[in-house]
């Protein structure tokens, strides 16, 4: 058996460590891209492109010259079309690759008092069933989203956070963004996740909380105004109905959270 396969094996190029490294790096990039597009509209677009490739191969094999010429004419513009269609996914891929660390993930808030003030505010908001969205910046800057809101540059306190989210207040809509130990801005607009697995279950507030974590490494803290439950969103995933101890752990520890997807549990739609 081996003697039969030996000519074929000997004709294969020798696998060097450079070639192995090349394969591993390409595999990592492909894996990261698949993780980003999985469950999103981009996955359907990729399926459509695959269908076009198969149609082109079929046209070549059956000698359908008109169809082959049409697809061959469109082929040079495919690269530009992919950049336009997948611009958000490409941006997430680059951000995801850039935020990887060999040791440690994320960053800690600078003072313990800051965490305590956030926890006290979340506790009060949950008790009174007042909707709120707090975004805590980590390694990747949130300046783009900060500029969409009202700049504050104020010290973090429970009373200020409660005042910002109080129903009827001028800045109760939108998100509060925290940089270090300062409230950078309030009433900020965030990108909504377009993950089809979430559209049926989540309202605008939760979708915005997840959307910003798909593009950056921040952590989003959400309070449901209908149920008073607290949720955490990180790395494009959400963890529902968490305790204050879990929020404290996420804010203070350098860890890569292993959040469980809870998409099967319907979340009440937020206002």
Would you say 156 and 179 are in contact if contact means Cβ atoms under 8 Å apart?
no
Would you say 94 and 86 are in contact if contact means Cβ atoms under 8 Å apart?
no
Cα separation of 247 and 176, whole Å? 16
Give the angle subtended at the CA of 35 by the CAs of 29 and 37, to the nearest 5°.
100
Per-residue pLDDT, 208: 92
Cα separation of 33 and 59, whole Å? 29
pLDDT digits (tens, 9 = 90+) for 108-123: 455 778 899 999 999 9
Cα separation of 210 and 195, whole Å? 10
Percent of the chain scoring above 70 in pLDDT: 73
Would you say 203 and 267 are in contact if contact means Cβ atoms under 8 Å apart?
yes
Cβ neighbors of 223 (< 8 A, separation 6 or more) are 122, 125, 126, 130, 131, 132, 133, 165, 229, 230, 231
pLDDT at 164 over 90: yes
pLDDT at 252 over 90: no
Higher pLDDT pick, 18 / 262: 18
Per-residue pLDDT, 36: 64
Question: Could you tell me how many helices (H) and strands (E) the chain has, helices first?
Answer: 12, 7
Neighbours of 83 (CB within 10 A): 10
pLDDT band with cut points at 50, 70 and 90 for residue 246: very high
pLDDT at 266 over 60: no
Per-residue pLDDT, 264: 35
When mean pLDDT is compared across 44-58, 96-110, 112-126, the lowest value belongs to 96-110
Domains of the chain from N-terminus onward: 2-98 (no CATH), 112-252 (3.40.1700.10)
């Amino acid at each position: 058996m081996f003697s039969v396969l030996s000519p074929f094996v000997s004709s294969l190029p020798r696998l060097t460590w450079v070639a192995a490294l090349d394969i591993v790096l390409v595999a990592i990039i492909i894996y990261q891209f698949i993780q980003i597009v999985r469950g999103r509209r981009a996955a359907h677009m990729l399926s459509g492109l695959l269908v076009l490739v198969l149609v082109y191969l079929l046209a070549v094999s059956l000698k359908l010259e008109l169809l082959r010429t049409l697809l061959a004419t469109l082929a040079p513009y495919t690269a530009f079309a992919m950049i336009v269609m997948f611009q958000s996914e490409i941006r997430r891929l680059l951000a995801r690759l850039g935020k990887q660390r060999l040791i440690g993930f994320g960053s800690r808030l600078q003072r313990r008092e800051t965490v305590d003030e956030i926890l006290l505010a979340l506790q009060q908001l949950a008790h009174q069933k007042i909707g709120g969205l707090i975004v805590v910046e980590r390694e990747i800057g949130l300046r783009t989203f900060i500029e969409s809101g009202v700049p504050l540059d104020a010290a973090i306190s429970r009373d200020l956070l409660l005042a910002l989210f109080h129903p009827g207040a001028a800045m109760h809509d939108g998100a509060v963004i925290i940089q270090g130990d300062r409230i950078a801005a309030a009433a900020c607009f965030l990108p909504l996740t377009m993950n089809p697995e979430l559209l049926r279950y989540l309202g605008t507030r939760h979708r915005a909380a997840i959307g910003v974590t798909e593009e950056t490494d921040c952590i989003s803290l959400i309070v449901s105004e209908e149920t008073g439950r607290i949720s955490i969103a990180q790395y494009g995933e959400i963890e529902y109905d968490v305790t204050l101890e879990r929020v404290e752990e996420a804010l203070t520890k350098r860890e890569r959270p292993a959040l469980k997807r809870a998409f099967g549990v319907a979340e009440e739609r937020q206002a």
